[in-house]
Amino acid sequence: MNKILISSSAKGTVQESAQLAKNLGLGLEISRIPLYKNEKLTLDGTIEILKNSVSDFDGRITLHGMFSDVNVSSQDYLMRKCSIQRCIESFEIGKALCADTILFHSGNKGTLHYGSIDSFKKNFASFWKDFIKEFENSNIIAVIENVFETSPQFCMDLIERVNSDNLKLALDVGHVNLYSHKTNPIEWIKAYGNNLYHMHIHNNFRENDDHSNLANGTVNYKEVFETLKGLNLNPSMVLEMFSEEDIRKSMNFISALNI
């Protein structure tokens, strides 16, 4: 199983990215789901497009579920209804593509109102306790990715409330560097522990979500990899950068670490 993957946003099309992944001997995380931008496109039509795009790819596939404005914990029932639809559609797409892992954002926008935080977590658990059964029945792992969270505890609380072996955590190291100024990626890795199943790795200078190569930013990736090794953690990792040049630079960076 490919433990290192690239994003389907690496090249101009999913098919081109799949070919790059094949050439590099890596897996592919499909991040472009055309359904959410095209009101005339059906779920079945989307599945057909994506299946055709990876028809010549025989490596590991994971899926980045639809995330734009998706919030299954919204207090607005219409927003919640639409968000649930997008999550269900993402699951159906992932299942059709034989993805073993499907990633979702938490939907948290970083509110500091305690009442809203509690309501958010209750709504999240209410939806996911039922939704996760689809993953359990299909032997697919769902992972929740941090975006605006400022500490690891928020996402940990979410999966603990659902309490399923099929709901794990995805650590986006670039997001930690950008949004979590009081806790660094090493602290997140240690806190997540065995719940750390999937990672997005890229770099930035804490000013913009650059998605640059691993050597181009303020994240110390040597320390990240050493920490993972020291804790005997082996999550899958997506080189979530959007050019072949940055992917190759990152692969060379990893090789040079000799870890």
pLDDT tens, residue by residue, 41-89: 999 999 999 999 999 999 999 999 999 999 999 999 999 999 999 999 9
- CATH fold for the domain made of 4-257: TIM Barrel (3.20.20)
pLDDT tens, residue by residue, 171-225: 999 999 999 989 999 999 999 999 999 999 999 999 999 999 999 999 999 999 9
Containing 62, the helix (H) or strand (E) segment is strand 61-64
Separation between Cα atoms, residue 154 and residue 44, nearest integer Å: 35
pLDDT tens, residue by residue, 226-254: 999 999 999 999 999 999 999 999 999 99
Separation between Cα atoms, residue 125 and residue 213, nearest integer Å: 35
pLDDT tens, residue by residue, 100-127: 999 999 999 888 787 899 999 999 999 9
Looking at residue 129, what is its pLDDT?
Answer: 98
| pLDDT value at 37 more than 90 | no
